[in-house]
Homo-oligomer: A and B are copies of this chain.
């Protein structure tokens, strides 16, 4: 087992194909080196070593020899020696997992600075200040990351070694009467280094190591340990990254962007990651280290003139270092062509020489992903299939999220303007910490997280917030990167904000806002407003990139996509999103209308069939009207109408006052009403008298609903429409139930056809949502003209999980990895999925061309859609706003299988 892979000087042991072994960063460093692009030489310790280290808390045998050989390889290229007195080499250590986990793991720079090497480096560089600045940085970083965190210490807030050292530095600046770090002199920094080392020993009980090897191995171990740090674990849980992957460690020669005026550092994207526009886009800082750009402590300059804001005083790299810029521009074009995707790159200029530190496929928001996919296809950079696979279905959700209503924006009070880091709109209550954000969100509130800058520690709060607003940082700051990854509205670098997190106040131009006050953000323009602005749905029709992508997806997918809609408006909206029918029209919501619920209640308390029939028939005109509108909105696409499903007690009042009132309205004794309500009470209503069990007990309900459907159908046919109703019997567990209900429905259909003299087409089918229905699907298919899987209920019964009650244990189940995910979000393929597959196979055994769909929440979930494609469903049905996601997912499912 080879544990160490070298790269440098045009040669590399690995390549871009080795991501699993070398991590994304390591594989791409090797690939760039192979392409002849200037990369600081180094080597990558594999993810297998991480796995070994995690399991055994030790390294595989022989790794030290491999590392020593690799160091020699680098020394030869650089003509320097690690730990050498005269010509010392410094090293950096960086993490790099298969998939990027920005900021979640540790980095240690400047390794190799010791009492032995410092004099030589001062000689060699002629810059004592730079050397001691690097040294004090090393001590700060190393004591924090390697000595304290990797050692497992969890110091109290504000008492960590890093904070202590920062305090010492602040004290020195105060003593020297200076305000900037850069105002400290070489001797200041030298003294500071000594103070730092003393404090490290005092606090952590150990000397800061003065041996270059010890430093290097400390750095390597701390990176491996950080794979199992709290932040990284949380991130993996949210992003569904397996724990077993592990991280690689990249050890590279240090290059410095902070050695003077002919030095610089920067990050860039080969296209705009927020809009997708095909323009080289990035930020840089002169005489700085990479972390200065990302941390948002200084506002960086634009790379190119074309992306510079009008009138900005900031100097572009294009103007400041034109030759370097030309070289960089050539490299970025080469990288994008080579990788055939937008690249996110990091570079450093040391002494006028350009070094590439990283390239990777760049994260992008939904809008940008769509535009890039379509434009790259048009540029013939990628194929149709690749274009479809380039957009994550969830990214479509972003562009379908509400935007600030321009009308309400006009009259709104503009408070400030920042950088538009995540498009879309958001409105909510101000909170100042991630914990409060999460808490308030779980209390049902909408919050906007307001911070000076964000750090990986804030990720859970950022996730919980509607939108994120920071005072500092640029378009590539932590807040911006994370928000964009989630398609969340985000504004960064909004310098007008004065945040006092302790007092929980936000002051903007003297106006004070408290925690809980409401503001609104337009993440597309970067504008911050006072109060709640109304949000509107985006106009997808005029988004030609979106419509192009959908068209391509539609040409590929095999699954039809329907929608779940209970009203003509929802039906029309879904149709505009491309729905090809309604897969689930719930009829019970229609009964809750105040004008109707009384008839429903009369029906429920009726003492005999006749009284029940009289009451229920009062609902006929309403239901006919409902179905008329929905069938019309969707014609000629099919509309699957589910018969009454919920238990009757849901329609009755529960508190005493309401019961008294209802009794008097219904003109019955309160006691007898109470008795009826009591008699309907159930211990487990989910498993009680509902679904087709109602239709069996009260056939008149089925008859009324069937009549309403068919009379609406006849009316539409008379008007020249082509409605196509599919009547769906819910919660069938035995074919006998379906047969019982089907007989009633067919009888009514025949009656309505005879009465009207108009023939119409319709289907009678069933919802498959109980395990028994899956086990006996062959029998049920004898009666059913279609199946529609109700995977919500099927998940409840297959797992024995009440969706209403899993809050008591699901969070722990997810945390302890007892479940890999929430089975109500993405279908549990092993268990519930097996039940569905069995139902499909058995159903088709009886009727080989049986039409089968799914109408639970899973119908809009990409992973679930992939599964439904594989087991041969005909369609999925989802909420209107998920329809485009389902269309794209269905296309991807075709390509992936």
Measured CB to CB, the residues of A under 8 A from B are: 680, 682-689, 691, 693, 696-697, 731, 733-734, 736-737, 740, 769-772, 775-776, 779, 793, 796-802, 804-806, 808-809, 812-813, 816-819, 828, 830-832, 834-835
Contacts and interface: CB of A to CB of B under 8 A. Distances in A.
A770 B812 contact: no
Contact of A682 (B680, B802, B812): B802
Contact of A828 (B772, B804, B832): B772
A696 B818 contact: yes
B832 A688 contact: no
A800 B793 contact: yes
A253 B734 CA distance: 48
Given A797-B800, A800-B793, A818-B734, A830 B775 contact: yes
Given A685-B683, A734-B818, A772 B831 contact: yes
Contacts of A686: 683-684, 686-687, 800, 802
Given A740-B816, A816-B696, A818-B740, A689 B809 contact: yes
A799 to B, nearest CB: 5
Query: Among the interface residues A800, A802, A808, which one has the most CB atoms of the partner chain B within 10 A?
Result: A800
A775 B834 CA distance: 7
Given A684-B805, A687-B802, 15 more contacts: A680-B808, A682-B804, A684-B804, A685-B805, A686-B800, A687-B796, A687-B805, A696-B816, A734-B818, A770-B798, A772-B798, A772-B799, A772-B831, A776-B830, A776-B831
Contacts of A799: 733, 770, 772
A804 B686 CA distance: 12
A691 B734 CA distance: 28
Nearest to A828: B772
A818 to B, nearest CB: 4
30 contacts: A682-B804, A682-B805, A683-B686, A683-B802, A684-B684, A684-B685, A685-B805, A686-B686, A687-B687, A687-B800, A687-B805, A691-B800, A693-B809, A697-B808, A734-B819, A734-B831, A736-B817, A736-B819, A740-B818, A769-B800, A770-B798, A770-B799, A770-B800, A771-B771, A771-B800, A771-B831, A772-B798, A772-B832, A776-B831, A793-B800
A276 to B, nearest CB: 41
A770 B831 CA distance: 10
Contacts of A680: 808
B697 A809 contact: yes
A881 to B, nearest CB: 27
Contacts of A683: 685-686, 802, 804-805
**How many copies make up the complex?**
2
Contact of A813 (B685, B696, B834, B835): B696
B831 A682 contact: no
Given A772-B831, A775-B830, A731 B816 contact: no
Contacts of A835: 771, 775
A421 to B, nearest CB: 39
Nearest to A732: B800
Nearest first, the 10 closest Cβ-Cβ pairs linking A and B are A687-B802, A684-B802, A772-B831, A689-B808, A771-B771, A688-B805, A682-B805, A683-B804, A775-B834, A684-B686
A831 B842 CA distance: 13
Query: Among the interface residues A688, A771, A809, A812, which one has the most CB atoms of the partner chain B within 10 A?
Result: A771
Nearest to A679: B808
Contacts of A779: 830
Contacts of A688: 802, 805-806, 808
Nearest to A689: B808
A812 B697 contact: yes
Contacts of A816: 696, 740
A685 B687 CA distance: 11
Contacts of A733: 799-801, 831
A835 B808 CA distance: 28
Contacts of A736: 817-819
A223 to B, nearest CB: 29
A394 to B, nearest CB: 26
A770 B737 CA distance: 23
A776 B831 CA distance: 6
A795 to B, nearest CB: 9
A421 B697 CA distance: 41
B771 A797 contact: yes
Contacts of A796: 687
B812 A696 contact: yes
Given A771-B771, A776-B831, A831-B776, A687 B684 contact: yes
Nearest to A769: B800
A805 B689 contact: yes
A818 B737 contact: yes
Query: Among the interface residues A772, A796, A798, which one has the most CB atoms of the partner chain B within 10 A?
Result: A772
Contacts of A797: 687, 771, 797-798, 800
A683 B681 CA distance: 11
A838 to B, nearest CB: 8
A886 B754 CA distance: 58
Nearest to A812: B697
B793 A772 contact: no
A864 to B, nearest CB: 16
A110 B19 CA distance: 99
Contacts of A812: 696-697
Contacts of A740: 816, 818
A816 B799 CA distance: 30
A737 B799 CA distance: 12
A832 B774 CA distance: 11
A767 to B, nearest CB: 12
Given A682-B808, A805-B685, A798 B771 contact: yes
A831 B684 CA distance: 21
Contacts of A832: 772
Contacts of A801: 687, 733
Nearest to A819: B734
